[in-house]
Amino acid sequence: MAEDDTRSLAEAADLAAQLRVDSIRASTSSGSGHPTSSLSAADLLAVLVLRHLRYDWNHPSTATNDHLIYSKGHASPLVYSVLRATGQISEEELLTGYRRFGQRLQGHPTPVLPWVDVATGSLGQGLPDGVGIALAGKYLEKLPYRVWVLCGDSEMAEGSIWEALDKASHYELGNLVVIVDVNRLGQRGATALGWDLDAYARRTEAFGARVLTVDGHDLAAIDAALHDVDSGQDDRPTVILARTVKGKGVAEVEDSPDWHGKPLPGDLAEEAIEALGGVREMTVTSIAPPQAESVEGPAESPAESPATSSDTSSDTSSDTDPAATPDTGAGAEQHSSQPDAATATASSQRSGAVMPRYRHSDRVATRKAYGAALVALGEIDPLVVGLDAEVSNSTGAGAFAEAFPDRFFEMFIAEQQLIAAATGMAVRGFKPFASTFAAFLSRAFDFIRMGAITGADLRIVGSHAGVEIGADGPSQMALEDLAMMRSVLGSTVLYPSDAPSTVALVAQMADIGGISYLRTTRGSYPVIYGPAEEFPIGGSKILRSNGMDDVTVVGAGVTVHECIGAADLLAREGIGARVIDCYSVKPIDVDTLAEAVRHTGGRLVIAEDHHPEGGLGEAVIAALTDVEDVGALSVRHLAVRDLPGSGTAAELLEAAGLSAGRIARAARELFDERDAEHDAQGNVR
Amino acid sequence: MAEDDTRSLAEAADLAAQLRVDSIRASTSSGSGHPTSSLSAADLLAVLVLRHLRYDWNHPSTATNDHLIYSKGHASPLVYSVLRATGQISEEELLTGYRRFGQRLQGHPTPVLPWVDVATGSLGQGLPDGVGIALAGKYLEKLPYRVWVLCGDSEMAEGSIWEALDKASHYELGNLVVIVDVNRLGQRGATALGWDLDAYARRTEAFGARVLTVDGHDLAAIDAALHDVDSGQDDRPTVILARTVKGKGVAEVEDSPDWHGKPLPGDLAEEAIEALGGVREMTVTSIAPPQAESVEGPAESPAESPATSSDTSSDTSSDTDPAATPDTGAGAEQHSSQPDAATATASSQRSGAVMPRYRHSDRVATRKAYGAALVALGEIDPLVVGLDAEVSNSTGAGAFAEAFPDRFFEMFIAEQQLIAAATGMAVRGFKPFASTFAAFLSRAFDFIRMGAITGADLRIVGSHAGVEIGADGPSQMALEDLAMMRSVLGSTVLYPSDAPSTVALVAQMADIGGISYLRTTRGSYPVIYGPAEEFPIGGSKILRSNGMDDVTVVGAGVTVHECIGAADLLAREGIGARVIDCYSVKPIDVDTLAEAVRHTGGRLVIAEDHHPEGGLGEAVIAALTDVEDVGALSVRHLAVRDLPGSGTAAELLEAAGLSAGRIARAARELFDERDAEHDAQGNVR
């Protein structure tokens, strides 16, 4: 940092007062928000943005810009006050746009604003996301930016904070600086540790951080700590513990447990603003980020950074385009990210012969096919990154880890950090594929949900789905994951039945916007499709049909094989089954499904290795209900309705009613019923 | 501990060899399982069960029994080998029942076995559950039992472990002892910290534990540490860090990263058993648990323990009933727990006048009604316990915390531990109600899922559902929670629209088995129902109907009020709407719904403040599809389909298409369509 870029501590005091005044004004104007949580951190932010944050505010997409993440997202009045001080939003927007309908200054910050990397507001997520960005900066982009994260003290109770610090020290993220605003008060009262900064210091130090403790309202002390960061970083992440006072600067609310999330009433706000010296018009100027060339890269850097061959890391620090957008590809409105040049090239190459191929005689687990496909993708697309939560030898990701050790990140058994790291990498323009057992993705649901609000393009892969896994028992069986992933805003949910369809879907995942999910199976099953077959997202495949079908039988993943078996059984009895492989669960191929049930008199059997709620069955039924001329349906919905135990895959599928025999029986029942109805009306079928 | 109860270290060595031999035999016999993860902990367990665990094996329901939780549930061969040594299962069961279909010796232990408190297998959960049991023991039951938890080192990477240790020290759980089997190897290779026991010691100490470090294969050292626990406990939880060797005792697999989760092949197993001295028939005798009277209760104990007035804490240490079942009320097959005497009394009192009442002119938030109802329940049912994740002033639980401080547990911002603590308390027979913002329950999905496998009766309450919350924005809006909670095995999902229905449903939750979920709303809405109205689980209410209805309009929670408004709008146009309040989302009242759509020509509008997948809409449609004679449906499914921002509740409901006006418009469209169809056929309506 060049000293002449920066401004004096007297100016920082002025800025801190302005941030306080503006935080009060924004929240009082909207009658909603968290001013006291903003006031405690105003001094910290004033010194940071005025003297240490290397950030070109006019060009937030600048590759070497530092990153500033508000993990305590409820301090949004402070976030927006900083943006006004940096000239990015107007006073009018601050006073009329905060927390209002249709406005971008939302209750908690989201990447609708180009200066915001990730949506926060679910506590304990900003830091894990920041670890993801810091991983990208150090190992993938090799850029000299730093990642600053402002945490609240309450959120230090979240386990995800400790997963993040654990990984930050394991991966030697000296580029990560965490500032903890220890104002001792949570929403409903005191935190468990209060102002015991020593306790926080012991914990963060034990987790491998370099820890600095400061009075969070002593500008010189704050500055000294941040200067220490500027000049003295090693390979440890830095944690700055700042003792602060909630509501600092407004005597009436200081250190009071009764003022969380409450704007000051108009008269109190006026007095407070007066006492703070009134409205100011100070402007923060950018501190130029360093040129990428100036970075002293770690000697142990991987040889070739994927990012250096893409526009993600192009030197845009001299970028003068005022319309520059963030380089995240994310943003709440942007679920379909624009493919960049590198992606477009990769996409076109993807149609080539590099993807793995399988023969009809092969028996292959889709989780293995996933690994093979990811390796192939890695060859042609330098932005593809792999992450796994200590089960890469089971999920298939191990093949990628072996082929591309520089682009694979072991997150150990920490599923929240797994998804957060992927989110941070996606924010930086990479294409993370994050895998673990599908059952354990439930650990990270809140992170996936918030990833959707961030608008991050996350590829998530869950293996060992359903009772099919067999002997390991119910703790390892994902039976809720389709419901979970379908419920995520804008998500894509894929569930292939064989190796070629897996490969085709994984290839497309590289280019899907938003949250995409691939569900894979433990066991090895026959290859169904030829290598030239295409599997468009939102499509399906008709696997059995003779034009005279009597019943529609729908499966996905492992049940497709059982549905084929059921069709064979039914054929012997003269019943024609149209078997549909619903490999795209969301979006679902409603046209093919509607055509099938029209053709088969509304008779429909659906078989899924999942609980009955929220999965394939409800997806199919809900989609058909949207079609006006489908008519009445006669449905048998086969799903896992009881608690399974251990057993073989065959035993457990049979017990759950998902075997070929049970599917055929369900289909047969639809005819028996129809017969019974006809009988009641004096007719015969 | 009376010394004469215990056996010598030489016997412990014998027992350790037997546990190793049996772990090998069980897993080799089934061709599946984790013998090497069992071998590393065999010495620890041998010394523990032979000399320190105060447990009446013949009477696992004994109230003063210690608890032994295998957080590393994949060490199930060791679990079952211990059970054989204690005479609880036969050699035959061990060798023919392990991991087989229909057997109770599952891949990971579950409470199908009366000696198992909680299902494990999703790592990082046994310790948090154990914290819940220890909380119950210290503060609710005031019994002298200890809670022993065997953790793997890999799972120390889960944030939930640190949430658990944080709470264990905050609540001064000197009755909790964590033994960490540091064998340095995870599933796919070395852990991040390997054998760096100092690092583990720094971390666990910083989190407030008393830490002992031992060689996990030195029986005398183990015994000294456990003796230290017996004699020297203070108010800190104890963590024993044991340096162990994975596969210890079988030279071919010791400390090898290639043998995770792999049984030894038959020949290697035979050699290993031979080298270990062959099959043994040693029997572990019980060490009598102390009498409840002998407990030196903490001086600061709450005055009246709820449990002392119920049979949960009755002195059953002299219980000689050989058919005694665990006192958990849990168990995989037991989703409906048997109400005990105290419960039956409470239930009968519940129909009395103590529950809060509301007038039609009141406007009350259902979250506030929840708090009031919980206080009333607390008055009549001493087993009711409240827990919250630092938002009790928002969820309504604060009222219970004030009324019953001795039965309320603040879990701070740690949602995983919130649910785990509730699970532990449910295991001990209490009736925990755990609340936080519904959005943040997604943080605990894996714990809820595992709670269902445990068979725990958990009452979960999520406030601030949907876009209705307004200004705080999408990070705080639960829009996936109905999908999540419906997908849980055996769950009950409730979503009341007003205060009286909330009270009635909360009262019933006290007696529901399995996982029950109540979704509440932020804003205040008019009271709809009278105080005498009943709201059976699985029921619904028809709020508008004149016998000549043209369209069925279904809502739940906040949308019920909009549906009523829509019916009023439609009535002015001569369209009769039958409005149904689907307060019970799972199970759903299919009869009333079917009757309504039959009556209204299949015309159906569903409005839910939730994403379209997995919530009320799909629940209704799937249920109707199960009814054979319902006929074709014409459905408008109104749900939140785009990313919301900030705004007022009214603005956001309107934008999501959930306002009375938008619901009425959707209903109108169903007639327009019907008209258009008729027109196409040359008819007029």
pLDDT digits (tens, 9 = 90+) for A573-608: 999 999 999 999 999 999 999 999 999 999 999 999
pLDDT at A71: 98
pLDDT digits (tens, 9 = 90+) for A152-167: 999 999 999 999 999 9
B165 contact residues in A (CB cutoff 8 A): none
Cβ count near B402 (within 10 Å): 12
How far B432 CA sits from the closest chain A CA (Å)?
20
- Domain C-terminal end among B501, B526, B551: B526
Judge whether residue B17 has pLDDT over 80: yes
| B563 falls within a domain | yes
Q: Which residues of A are catalytic?
A: 415
Judge whether residue B343 has pLDDT over 60: no
| A354 falls within a domain | no
In single-letter form, the type of residue at position A171 comes to Y
pLDDT at A293: 58
Closest by Cβ to B203, choosing from A120, A206, A391 = A206
Determine, for residues A161 and B159 on separate chains, whether the beta-carbon distance falls below 8 Å. Answer: yes
| B349 falls within a domain | no
Are B520 and B549 in the same domain? no
Among residues A477, A526, A425, A447, the alpha carbon closest in space to that of A137 is found at: A425
Q: In which band, very low, low, confident or very high, does the pLDDT at A104 lie, cut at 50, 70 and 90?
A: very high
pLDDT at B437: 98
Are B474 and B571 in the same domain? no
Whole-angstrom distance, CA of residue A513 vs CA of residue B378: 49
Cα-trace Rg, chain A: 28
Would you call the peptide bond into B587 cis, given omega within 30 degrees of 0 as the criterion?
yes
pLDDT digits (tens, 9 = 90+) for A424-480: 999 999 999 999 999 999 999 999 999 999 999 999 999 999 999 999 999 999 999
**Which residue out of A241, A416, A436, A449 would a mutagenesis test of the B interface target, given it has the greatest number of B Cβ atoms within 10 Å?**
A449
| B206 falls within a domain | yes
Determine, for residues B157 and A673 on separate chains, whether the beta-carbon distance falls below 8 Å. Answer: no
pLDDT at A377: 98
pLDDT digits (tens, 9 = 90+) for B478-487: 999 999 999 9
Q: HSE of A77 in the Cβ direction (CA atoms, 13 Å)?
A: 34
Are B68 and B210 in the same domain? yes
Are B513 and B570 in the same domain? no
pLDDT digits (tens, 9 = 90+) for B439-453: 999 999 999 999 999
B439 contact residues in A (CB cutoff 8 A): 122, 446, 449
Cβ count near B372 (within 10 Å): 22
Supply the CATH number for residue B155's domain.
Answer: 3.40.50.970
Cβ count near A394 (within 10 Å): 22
Judge whether residue A294 has pLDDT over 80: no
The chain-wide mean pLDDT, for chain B, equals 90
A158 contact residues in B (CB cutoff 8 A): 159, 163, 413-414, 443
pLDDT at B322: 32
Determine, for residues A154 and B124 on separate chains, whether the beta-carbon distance falls below 8 Å. Answer: no
Whole-angstrom distance, CA of residue B465 vs CA of residue B485: 13
**Which residue out of A413, A604, A638 would a mutagenesis test of the B interface target, given it has the greatest number of B Cβ atoms within 10 Å?**
A413
Cβ(B467)–Cβ(B493) below 8 Å: no
pLDDT at A290: 86
How far A70 CA sits from the closest chain B CA (Å)?
13
B343 or B38, higher pLDDT: B38
pTM: 0.93
Judge whether residue A332 has pLDDT over 50: no
pLDDT at A4: 45
| A344 falls within a domain | no
β-pairing, B515-519 with B577-581? unpaired
Which residues in B277-380 belong to E strands, given as ranges? 363-365
| B491 falls within a domain | yes
Residue A241 dihedral angles phi and psi, to the nearest 5°:
-95, 115
Mean pLDDT over B41-58 rounds to 97
A432 or B632, higher pLDDT: A432
Whole-angstrom distance, CA of residue A73 vs CA of residue A78: 10
pLDDT digits (tens, 9 = 90+) for A415-429: 999 999 999 999 999
pLDDT at A63: 97
B394 contact residues in A (CB cutoff 8 A): 187-188
Judge whether residue B304 has pLDDT over 70: no
CA-nearest residue to A612 within chain B is B487
Hey, what's the torsion of the CAs at B555, B560, B564, B566, to 10 degrees? Answer: -60
Whole-angstrom distance, CA of residue B577 vs CA of residue B571: 7
Cβ(A110)–Cβ(A297) below 8 Å: no
Are A125 and A30 in the same domain? yes
pLDDT at B294: 45
Determine, for residues B154 and A413 on separate chains, whether the beta-carbon distance falls below 8 Å. Answer: yes
pLDDT digits (tens, 9 = 90+) for A379-420: 999 999 999 999 999 999 999 999 999 999 999 999 999 999
pLDDT at B656: 98
Are B20 and B131 in the same domain? yes
Percent share of chain B, pLDDT over 70: 88
B104 contact residues in A (CB cutoff 8 A): 645
Are A241 and A377 in the same domain? no
Sign of CA dihedral A76, A245, A194, A44: positive
Are A205 and A262 in the same domain? yes
Whole-angstrom distance, CA of residue A40 vs CA of residue A180: 11
Cβ count near B407 (within 10 Å): 24
| A357 falls within a domain | no
Determine, for residues B476 and A108 on separate chains, whether the beta-carbon distance falls below 8 Å. Answer: yes
CA-nearest residue to A203 within chain B is B206
Alpha helices in B298-388 (DSSP H): 341-350, 366-380
- Domain C-terminal end among B256, B276, B296: B276
Determine, for residues A188 and B445 on separate chains, whether the beta-carbon distance falls below 8 Å. Answer: no
Judge whether residue B111 has pLDDT over 60: yes
The b/e string for B373-392 (b: 16+ C-beta within 10 A; e otherwise) is: bbbbbbebbbbbbbbbbbbb
Residues 245-304 of B with CB under 8 A from A: none
The reply to whether B677 touches chain A by the CB within 8 Å rule is yes
The chain-wide mean pLDDT, for chain A, equals 90
Are A135 and A188 in the same domain? yes
- Domain C-terminal end among B494, B526, B558: B526
Among residues A373, A387, A501, A378, the alpha carbon closest in space to that of A435 is found at: A387
- Say whether B666 sits in a helix, a strand or coil: helix
pLDDT digits (tens, 9 = 90+) for A477-490: 999 999 999 999 99
Cβ(B15)–Cβ(B251) below 8 Å: no
Structural domain range at position B409: 364-526
Determine, for residues B439 and A615 on separate chains, whether the beta-carbon distance falls below 8 Å. Answer: no
Cβ count near A665 (within 10 Å): 17
Determine, for residues A635 and B648 on separate chains, whether the beta-carbon distance falls below 8 Å. Answer: no
- Say whether B132 sits in a helix, a strand or coil: helix
Say how many domains are in chain A: 3
Are A512 and A649 in the same domain? no
Alpha helices in B487-576 (DSSP H): 499-509, 558-572
| B310 falls within a domain | no
Are B469 and B492 in the same domain? yes
A626 contact residues in B (CB cutoff 8 A): 635, 637
Burial (CB count within 10 angstroms: exposed 0-12, middle 13-18, buried 19+), residue A14: middle
Q: Which residues of B are catalytic?
A: 415
Residues 170-199 of A with CB under 8 A from B: 170, 186-188, 191-192, 199
- Say whether A240 sits in a helix, a strand or coil: strand
The reply to whether B679 touches chain A by the CB within 8 Å rule is no
pLDDT at B673: 65
pLDDT at B292: 74
Judge whether residue A683 has pLDDT over 70: no
pLDDT at A628: 79
Q: In which band, very low, low, confident or very high, does the pLDDT at A303 lie, cut at 50, 70 and 90?
A: very low
Judge whether residue A325 has pLDDT over 60: no
Mean pLDDT over B602-623 rounds to 98
What residues pair up with A601 in beta bridges, in sequence order? none
Closest by Cβ to B101, choosing from A107, A479, A647 = A647
Closest by Cβ to B108, choosing from A203, A475, A611 = A475
The reply to whether B514 touches chain A by the CB within 8 Å rule is no
B442 contact residues in A (CB cutoff 8 A): 445-446, 449
Determine, for residues A646 and B101 on separate chains, whether the beta-carbon distance falls below 8 Å. Answer: yes
Supply the CATH number for residue A667's domain.
Answer: 3.40.50.920
Percent share of chain A, pLDDT over 70: 88
pLDDT digits (tens, 9 = 90+) for A278-291: 999 999 999 999 88
How far A346 CA sits from the closest chain B CA (Å)?
30
Are A188 and A69 in the same domain? yes
